[in-house]
Amino acid sequence: MAVLLAGSGAAAQNLETTIQDDALMLHRSEPSVRATARQMAQLGFDRVRITASWNTLAPSPRARKRPRGGFDPTDSKTYPELSLDKLDRAVRATTDAGMAPMIDLAFWAPRWAVAKRGKQRDRQRYIPKAVEFARFSGALAKRYNGSFPDPRRKGRKLPAVQIWTTWNEPNHSSFLSPQWKRDGKGGWRAYSPHVYRAMHEAAYDAIKAASPHNTVLVGGTTSIGSDTPGKGHVPPLEFLRTMACADALMQPLAVPECQGAGKIRADGYAHHPYSLDVTPGTSDPILDNAPIADIGRLADTIDRLLAAGRINGDWPLYLTEYGYETAPPDPGARYSPEQQVRHLAWANWLAYKRGDVRMHAQFLLRDIDGAESGFPVSSPRHWRDWQTGLLYHDGRPKPAAQGFKIPLHLQFAKGPNSEPALLIWGGVRPGDGRRTVRLERRDGTAGWRTILTSDRSCNQQNGEFLTAEDGFFSALAAWEGPGVYRLGYLKGDSRWEYGPDVSVDAEQPAVSGG
């Protein structure tokens, strides 16, 4: 018999979960989009992140000069109808399914809105003009402020969108350039943060003008950057400091772009804490990187910038993109679908246990079909797109689909008196309020047995107990050695539904049980 030594139903954290799959939400038929949204809701997602692609929505994106002839970049009614209709129906399907939308005002820019044309004519990103980005941002924010007439539903309004992010991964060279600039001393300094600051500040005003209730997130940074200035991407924490015109010591940054710069205004910081090739608990040796194991570094940087007077508030964290690729289908991916389950729950726990994280994310519902790359299966480029889905590209569920509904993280830990213990964190999606759950361990051929609890706050009865109001719980149990566990919950029809099997071993890093 295993008895819980310490712990209780965890206090509700109000940690939203968001999912992004633009291929399914923006580029399929309307019935397919609606079915996808319902499936996302059934899995338990709270919100859908949708990309509003500037160069897709704007007219004449390859032209050198902004179109005239009735085009007003601040008025979405003058934008091409077909692309906006796709965005409208994604927002509409999301709300109809009971979730909330968020919009990423993102890549790439029209040719007429950048300082210099790049090599890839449909992926312009060289110093987008802040004033044009603000006009685009304001046009969409007004379209989705809750009072705009729905073009497809007579007498009704388009749903409101109240969370916005300004650009996607601006510290990544695929989305914004140039990332670096010569410093005049034979070296390099980060330049993309200054380009992005101008874009964000202009867009912030336009989005807030459309509705003061809008939440506007800054950042959207990727987790990993280059350790060689002048090459690759700017590390996220260096990007953040430079954007706020502070150096590593939080002293004012003495560069021309920072002259007259005020506090960065935002309602939170968006970040993509990917750790694709390592476990979620693996720290990055480059101190300016911030994968999921190191989001404390990001929070500390925000605290220091606030103390230095460089930002307008103590920004909460929004983790708006995350995932693990699996083999299969991608033979080059490091982890199996079974390991994906374990890693996604682990990352979810790392986000959940922090009080400053408001959102955690899953990137892709379905894997992207390798055939869409146009390269043969024998080519490594066949799998160049993402295979981070909860489902295979043909719709078959991976174990992670059920694992998202009923997440379970297990980890070797130390109890209150430094005794070996098992850390348990889990929960139930979808649904509201406390849920009746039980944890079971499989003992060889003897089958499954329930782990009994002694924690009165869980209202334990015959091994069954209640989660906290948000559907989650955390606890410590006696360590019984490596094994396989599963979490089940009691459905409304009095049947038990279980999450996937989750193994635990003593090789995982120990954590404090206090």
**Looking at residues 428-457, what average pLDDT do you find?**
83
For the purposes of burial, counting CB atoms within 10 Å of the CB of 446, is it exposed (0-12), middle (13-18) or buried (19 or more)? exposed
Cβ contact 241:303 at 8 Å: no
Residue 344 Cα to chain centre, angstroms: 12
Indicate whether 142 pLDDT > 80: yes
Q: What was the pLDDT predicted at 463?
A: 81
High-pLDDT (> 90) share of the chain, %: 86
Q: Residue 41: enclosing H or E segment and its boundaries?
A: helix 30-43
Domains delineated in the chain: 4-9+409-512 (2.60.40), 46-321 (3.20.20)
d(CA 179, CA 235): 10
Residue written as token pair 């997440």: 407
Residue from 121, 120, 86 nearest 103 by CA: 86
Helices (H), 119-232: 130-143, 192-210
Q: DSSP of 464-496, one letter per residue?
A: BEE--TTSEEEEEEE---SEEEEEEEE-TTS-E
Q: What was the pLDDT predicted at 461?
A: 60
pLDDT one-digit tens code per residue, 29-49? 999 999 999 999 999 999 999
φ/ψ (deg, to 5) at 216 = -115, 120
pLDDT-derived band at 26 (thresholds 50, 70, 90) equals very high
Q: What was the pLDDT predicted at 511?
A: 55
Distances (CA, A) of 384 to 267, 376, 391: 34, 11, 18
pLDDT one-digit tens code per residue, 77-99? 999 999 999 999 999 999 999 99
**Looking at residues 8-19, what average pLDDT do you find?**
70
Which pair of tokens denotes residue 299? 């929070």
Cβ contact 9:473 at 8 Å: yes
High-pLDDT (> 70) share of the chain, %: 94
Residue from 386, 344, 494 nearest 43 by CA: 344
The gap between the terminal CA atoms of the chain, to the nearest Å, is 23
Q: What was the pLDDT predicted at 453?
A: 54
Q: Is the peptide bond before 328 cis (omega within 30 degrees of 0)?
A: yes
Conformation bin of residue 291: beta by default, left when phi > 0, alpha when psi is -120 to 50: beta
pLDDT-derived band at 493 (thresholds 50, 70, 90) equals confident
Length of the chain measured in residues: 514
Q: What share of the chain is helix, strand, coil (3-state, %, to 5)?
A: 30, 25, 45
Q: What was the pLDDT predicted at 45?
A: 98
The overall average pLDDT reported for the chain is 93
> Which residues lie closer than 8 Å to 440 by C-beta, 6 or more apart?
448, 449, 450, 451, 485, 486, 487, 488, 498
Indicate whether 147 pLDDT > 60: yes
Find the largest Cα–Cα distance for the chain.
77
Q: What was the pLDDT predicted at 415?
A: 84
d(CA 251, CA 309): 10
Query: How many separate helices (H) and strands (E) can be counted in the chain?
Result: 10, 21
pLDDT one-digit tens code per residue, 367-398? 999 999 999 998 989 999 999 999 999 999 99
**Looking at residues 487-511, what average pLDDT do you find?**
86
pLDDT-derived band at 458 (thresholds 50, 70, 90) equals very low
| Secondary structure (3-state) at 426 | strand
pLDDT one-digit tens code per residue, 195-250? 999 999 999 999 999 999 999 999 999 999 999 999 999 999 999 999 999 999 99
φ/ψ (deg, to 5) at 41 = -65, -40
Indicate whether 444 pLDDT > 90: no
Q: What was the pLDDT predicted at 8?
A: 43
pLDDT one-digit tens code per residue, 342-369? 999 999 999 999 999 999 999 999 999 9
Q: What was the pLDDT predicted at 454?
A: 45
